Amino acid sequence: MGSERDERRGEGEPPIAVELEGVGKRYDGAVAVEDVDLAIREGEFFTLVGPSGCGKTTTLRLIAGFEEPTAGTVRFGGRDVSGVPPEGRNVGVVFQNYALFPHMTVGENVGYGLRFSDPPGDVSRAERVRELLDLVDLPGTEERDPESLSGGQKQRVSMARALAPGPDLLLLDEPMSALDARLRERLRVQVREIQRELGITTVYVTHDQEEALSVSDRVAVMRGGTPEQVAEPRTVYRRPASRFVAEFVGDNNVFEGTVAGEPGDGENGDEDGDQEGPVSVPVDVDGATLRVAVGGNDRGADGDPGIGDRIAFCVRPQHLRVGRTENGLEATVESAEFLGETTRIHLAWGDRELLVRTEDPLSGTVVVGFDPADAHVIDVDGG
């Protein structure tokens, strides 16, 4: 569904640095990844995100050369790298567990990344180590024992070591999962700043949706070993390609119902649906008629919902407004979670749970509604 073939390189965009075409990996018959198509651009910060077991780390290992695909092709700059070992791919890898050598100093750990090559830029090994420790904001730590560092500092040393040889590609596998929440936030900003400063193509693996959205140029949401959607973070969040993406990336309210009228019927007093721009369709959801925006000037094309079609759509909690009567739903407050800037309210509407974000707590029975334009259609079943 979310194949990279849907987002091929347009005119003026950077060339493709890494391409996976039809890539699959099986272990004793068990599928780890299947039919993966990805095209990662030069200088891009590209993130693989998804739940445990979705294939994101296996995909990273296939790019690094730690695993060989059982199907498909991996290319670097258009060159097939099948059979090329990791040390021949000019990649730097940062692992979840730091993998620092405790018997070496910080400087020796960073310099270890130069064991197979000379430092880039015609500098000495010691100069390269100092440059990188400055880059990761750890100047003057060359002689320190790694065990004297915090978790975030260790991870930055690990990143400096991966960058030491001047790789063409940086791979990061869940590098912040062992850190506390506040430290993760600070470190991900630093990682993004370093990546931008160097302009290095980066592939990042995480299960944290917020992390993926905050640092990436583009995101691949993985499910069952296959990318479900590949797009810029805002697109993934605002226009999820499937119910899985809608429910995995942030909170969402998903509704299912049957289209009860033609697009534009009864909208703004216009019975013939001739107005310009997006129009809404009435959808019967558990006895309530809710209007959902669809199409635009190209409405009527294949895929637009018709009368009797089953439709699924989602509305983010912040778009359900208390007291709004348009698409109004009467619901009962079940519980509330104070999150600081907002409160997440759990509502019961019939047999469904709704999520609403408000500044103030709610209680009892309330009416919540939404603008049809804030509903995003994620599935239409004409069968």
CATH number, position 216: 3.40.50.300
Note the pLDDT of residue 269.
44
Can you give the length of the chain in residues? 383
Note the pLDDT of residue 350.
92
**In a shared domain, residues 238 and 143:** yes
Among 248, 263, 287, the domain-final residue is 248
**In a shared domain, residues 258 and 238:** no
Q: Give yes or no for a contact between 242 and 224, defined as CB atoms under 8 angstroms apart.
A: no
The domain total for the chain is 2
Tell me the residue range of the domain where 214 lies: 4-248
CATH number, position 361: 2.40.50.140
Note the pLDDT of residue 95.
87
**In a shared domain, residues 32 and 130:** yes
Note the pLDDT of residue 205.
96
Q: Give residue 236's region: left, alpha or beta (phi > 0; psi -120 to 50).
A: alpha
Note the pLDDT of residue 273.
44
> What single string gives the DSSP state of each residue in 58-125?
HHHHHHHTSS--SEEEEEETTEE-TT--GGGTTEEEE-TT----TTS-HHHHHHHTTTTSPPTTS--H
User: CA nearest 346: which of 376, 372, 320?
Assistant: 320
Q: Which stretches of the chain score pLDDT less than 70?
A: 1-11, 264-277, 296-304, 382-383
pLDDT, one tens digit per residue, over 72-129 is: 999 999 999 989 999 899 999 998 887 899 999 999 999 997 887 888 888 999 999 9
